[in-house]
Amino acid sequence: MAADLLSITIEEENILPNIKVSSADEVIERLGRVFCESGFITEKYIPAVIEREKRYPTGLKTEYGYVAIPHADSTEVKMSGFAIATLVDPVIFKSMEDGIEEFPVDIVIMMAVKDPGSVVYVLQKVVALLRNKPALDAIRVAEFPSEIKNVITNHLIIQKDGSGLKGN
Amino acid sequence: MVPVKILVICGSGVATSMHVAYKMREYFQKEKLPVTVDGAGINELAGRMHAYDIIVSNAAVHQKTDKPVFSAIPLLTGIGEKELMEKLIAKIRELMG
């Protein structure tokens, strides 16, 4: 299991700290472009995510701020992984729970899931991040991709022995 | 004993519903409850809900149903997770009679 957990990595080129965007579509496009260039998804994944976000939005209210986890089905995914952007100014994502409430999101985690077997691993990591105040705080103030990558890598190492899931 | 059947729903059926189903199975195993948990996309809900006792959803459910419906969002965000699982387990025990 540890090998599986580690096999989903976050690449620095898929991390966009402090970007300026004016809409949810725009941040999905920006993340989608780097995600595509690094070989995780095909170009078609980007419009698929934008379309899905309209029907089934992914904004989440966590204890430590608003986060969105845009994704689509696995058809256009080449490798499982995630891409992260932090936003200078929040943009509106609608609530996953009721599809109506509007959340000012400043951390966007775009997910790509290749097969059902890897779903749980990708999601466990993302969900553990959503619940980890020090990790989210560090991601929010990070200026460079390497800093965010370090937060996530350290966080995953903590998670490996189970202690990263504390506080639930 | 006939297991209580739970259907977990999300927008596409590939990501968040799988995670929620996995988390719930862990809880139910700990409680030794006879529960089966399946995941599906919301477009499958209308066709499949008749075969389940409880619906747990990550997305807004607009279909009419006489089945109890719970929001799965707490299992993602952690806010209210304990309360959700307490309510679900109480409902499962009630259905088991």
- Assign A160 a pLDDT band (cuts: 50, 70, 90): very low
Count CB atoms within 10 A of the CB of residue B56.
25
User: Concatenated DSSP letters for chain A?
Assistant: -HHHHHHS---GGGEEEEE--SSHHHHHHHHHHHHHHTTSB-TTHHHHHHHHHHHS--EEEETTEEEE-----GGGBSS-EEEEEEEEEEEEEEBTTTS--EEEEEEEEEEE--SHHHHHHHHHHHHHHHT-HHHHHHHHH--SHHHHHHHHHHHHHHHHTTGGGTT-
Residue predicted with more confidence, B58 or A16? A16
CA A107 to centroid of chain Cα atoms: 8
pLDDT attached to residue A32: 98
pLDDT attached to residue A7: 55
Q: What is the mean pLDDT of residues B29-54?
A: 94
pLDDT attached to residue A5: 45
Mean per-residue pLDDT over chain B, rounded: 92
Taking CB atoms and an 8 Å limit, are B73 and A96 in contact across chains? Answer: yes
pLDDT attached to residue A138: 94
Residue predicted with more confidence, A11 or A117? A11
Query: Residue A159 pLDDT more than 60?
Result: no
pLDDT attached to residue A65: 95
Q: What is the mean pLDDT of residues A126-151?
A: 92
What is this model's ipTM?
A: 0.86
Read off the pLDDT of residues A59-70 as tens digits, 9 standing for 90 and up: 999 999 999 999
Q: Cα distance from A123 to chain B (closest Cα, Å)? A: 6
pLDDT attached to residue A158: 52
- CA Rg, chain B, in Å? 12
Q: State whether residue A114 sits within 8 Å of chain B by CB.
A: no
- With contacts defined as CB-CB under 8 Å, which chain A residues touch B18? 116, 119-120, 123
- With contacts defined as CB-CB under 8 Å, which chain B residues touch A97? 58-60, 71, 73
Residue predicted with more confidence, A116 or A83? A83
Q: State whether residue B17 sits within 8 Å of chain A by CB.
A: no
- Assign A8 a pLDDT band (cuts: 50, 70, 90): low
Mean per-residue pLDDT over chain A, rounded: 87
From A145-159, B59-73, B82-96, the region with the lowest mean pLDDT = A145-159
